[in-house]
Structure 1
């Protein structure tokens, strides 16, 4: 199994949302702190990303920014633009901020409607924005260790898959053809993985990989992680996991703990419980089947371990999981 894909799947809930916006200067919108992850892409023109902490970031055409922790931020045509607040709705969509004037158009100030200006004429900026609903209670450290703002500037020849996904998503949102809803949802899931992959590749090339990101670049630790994710039900030992990467038990244990931040079997238990939670939310398996798929020989042992991790019995967790999914 692909560890990155699994880490995202463990946290992703609900349905992602995205919108394409035409902007006529001056414009600006502010996003409050949220438990959602969000992204912005400048398709045309330019913009400023203004985080709650840190320096403003000038964005050029093709630039992608990802805010994995839902930090408060603004997007604007200039640093002096007014910033009406966008409010997220429970399903992950966001409301249109109130207009600054009596009518839409360049003189009316900022808006976040489908077109922030007159129906004719070329907009100054076109943006693509989106949100992902995440279960922060099961935050995988690979994502938890990401910076507040991930900036992927457009450079010729770099991150071609990411650029292709952005272009396809932009076209689908602009054209709204039959099948667009399903295609957009799939493209948004794909885009998230491309963003994370592009960040990881950029950090690796710059020699800045740390923690979990570095673990994926370490042959021995990455081999063990793939083994755990491929078969979490297997009765892994530290020595057996070390063998997958060609290291002795002691050398492997030290390297794994240094990069991942916890011992191998501690991570194995965490991943088993995370997998169990996902199975209980999304599959119709019996508790015995969930126990078997996560490495427990009895339903009783599984239920005891699950309650210790989640604070409630697996059956109750499944019944109350409707609002989480």
Structure 2
């Protein structure tokens, strides 16, 4: 046995379970049961294995310990963007709930590409994950791949539910109610809001636009929608919001209006447009320029001014999605028993409106 750089005795490195069995004097099947679930092994064997593991350098192969199990103990999750803190927070809720239930989460990103999304689906099926939770690409999602996944595995959609996949288990926000919440607030404190939309690449954003139209009609108010056209390739969020609104501000339009944005990322761009034109959203007690969004993106409290929005309960959504997929893994829900669970939004009144 050698020594490490600090002079301490270096533990012998063990590469296989067969080598470990010989080194600590416990049978290979007993070791396998121990790494699957220590409760399946006698107390004396557990103590012997744990003492042995202290003497050697060994990390069990995650997949090898699951080869003979009916369950891999893994839940696959697909998200559309890595650079979006909304999905980071959603993943936090999913991972926390999964770990508490004894599952390991394997994450793939579709990078806003239906082909990559389909490849992630194939990866999960080849890995024999126990179930899958997917935040799809809205109307661009690869519905054929999603339907194949639904036939093969316990499967739940989160965040958005494109119409071709309406009959799949879904956990998300009650967007009709949450959009009316922010719209009702804006009409109380200022003029009826203009809706700053975005190109049709995000199903939830398009849904927000439709709900805006319905709610304005219910109130007998004239709707006004701007920003639906793509300004530049890839400009779907902050860059789109800034460019679309800046063009209107440059002409003197909407500088005293309430502006309800399709989501918070568009609204962050809108705030930047206001700053570039010397405007201060929310500075008047009533009326004047107001900018609001939807989602409660993690940076919203720290924008200048802080963004008024509606918070989605991502921790609850993540936990409910995990609970649902685990129930399906356990066979508690039939393949024909599809459910929809919607959580209310919470109005977050801040400086911008």
Say yes or no: TM over 0.5.
Answer: no
TM-score by length of 2: 0.24
TM-score by length of 1: 0.25
Structure ID, larger Rg: 2
Q: Specify which structure has the higher proportion of strand.
A: 1
